[in-house]
Amino acid sequence: SSFYDVDLKSTDFLLGLFQSSHMSYDFVRTPEPLENEAGEPSLSEMTSSAITMLQKGDNGFFLIVEGGRIDHAHHSNRGKLSLADTVAFDDAVRRATEMTSSEDTLIV
């Protein structure tokens, strides 16, 4: 099933595997499923879903969100891809900030 079809309120555990290796760079990411591809949610969408699920617990949580493709693009001298992934990572951090409280959350 699709990432977008998951009912986060009734789901207790979720693992999303969208590629057999690295996910696509955000600039070339296909958000909607195509004929031979599952489609890939954005880093912001995955962050939002993870926080929504983790906030259901009473004991707090620890979440790592990584924009690893930024570094991959730099090593390949692909500045446009790196910049697009940096913007996508910024969107994910912004979403995490909107969904959590600075009173009990540390975002590094």
Model's pTM, two decimal places?
0.89
Integer Cα distance of 80 and 74 in angstroms: 9
Residues 81, 35: Cα–Cα separation, whole Å: 24
Amino acid at position 25, single letter: Y
CA dist., res. 49 & res. 43, Å (int): 10
pLDDT by 10s per residue, the chain, length 108? 678 889 999 999 999 888 889 999 999 987 776 665 667 899 999 999 999 999 999 999 999 999 999 999 999 999 999 999 999 999 999 999 999 999 999 999
